[in-house]
A and B are shown apart, each in its own frame.
Chain A
């Protein structure tokens, strides 16, 4: 008995039931195509002046998040289906922790450095 065909749930990066291997190659091709477009766009954007300059970091972040989504969907096979609920919940928790760590660090350290005494005054301390 193959353990592929007799189940409805599936692990990340694994194959949904009832799909043959052509599905894999098609997914890989789509994922590669989207990734190339997004990567080339990011590299071109970083060295150019085609959009409003201060908006470039935000645009780069948007392209990066889009490409991470492409990887999750086409390479890791994360979907919204009921057979994927556990994987999506774990991913959501991971994203929450990552967000807390990164945003929290930036927030706290930014306030700390605002409250620091400027270095040129430090030598005049009695």
Chain B
């Protein structure tokens, strides 16, 4: 994109007309168009941007799926059919441990990606392993919770509230479990294949997935557990 032979002002006007927000430029300094930003004049975006953005779209649609379960829970939370109320089935201590495990795993997941960017295989693996262990702790705590409730005769078919409760919390638990399997696969791939380009792209996607699960958990522990444990929240 060189406008040789034209006065500089003509080139500047042309640039403003073609790209008013300077999207095709580096942030500071240089006015050369940058390759790989997907703005037409400089060719398609890099695979890394396309993969990350595509996975971002998938995650947003996954969050829409969760929103349907949240909506079902919001509608059904008072429908106890004479069975146990939400207040009676919530164990805040266990939820606090689950929250701590998932938040810390989100943190170590991000540290693993920092290590990936620094191309340190050892630290990437260490932090991925810690992430996986914390995720496992989370899933085991949730399995323990469900088993304990089932032992007290509190099962999904008891009432509408319990159906939506087990549906929402269980869907998140399934996501964490699948994420854990993906994590184990990524550790094996990093070990065998190293930081090849497509492996790094998969690590980007895995990071996005894990952080999104933590964001969904914020909604669950607030709306289901904290507001459920609080009698003023369970009006309806």
Contact = CB atoms under 8 A, between A and B. Distances in A.
Interface residues of A, number: 61
Contacts of A35: 103
Interface residues on B, range: 35 or more
Interface in A6-40: 6-15, 17-18, 21, 24-25, 27-28, 31-32, 35-36, 39
Contacts of A97: 64, 67
Contact of B226 (A4, A27, A60): A60
A32 B70 contact: no
Nearest to A103: B71
B215 A68 contact: yes
A98 B229 contact: no
Given A11-B49, A11-B52, A13-B204, A106 B75 contact: yes
A14 B204 contact: yes
A75 B110 contact: yes
Interface of A is mostly: helix
Given A47-B92, A101-B64, A64 B222 contact: yes
A71 B70 contact: no
B135 to A, nearest CB: 15
Given A39-B103, A47-B229, A63 B222 contact: yes
Contact of A11 (B22, B53, B70): B53
B53 A8 contact: no
Contacts of B52: 10-14
Nearest to B222: A64
A17 B148 CA distance: 49
Contacts of A24: 110-111, 113-114, 117
B60 A32 contact: no
A94 B63 contact: yes
Given A11-B53, A12-B208, A46-B230, A17 B27 contact: yes
A56 B53 contact: no
Interface string B10-41: 00000000000111111100000011111000
Interface of B: 21-27, 34-38, 45-53, 55-57, 60-61, 63-64, 67-68, 70-72, 74-75, 92, 96, 99, 103-104, 106-107, 110-111, 113-115, 117-118, 197, 204, 207-208, 211-212, 214-215, 218-219, 221-223, 226-227, 229-230, 232-233
Given A8-B23, A13-B113, A75-B110, 15 more contacts: A3-B36, A3-B47, A7-B36, A8-B37, A9-B23, A9-B45, A9-B49, A11-B50, A13-B56, A54-B232, A68-B219, A71-B211, A83-B23, A98-B63, A109-B75
11 contacts: A7-B36, A9-B49, A14-B204, A25-B114, A36-B103, A39-B103, A43-B96, A45-B226, A54-B232, A57-B233, A63-B222
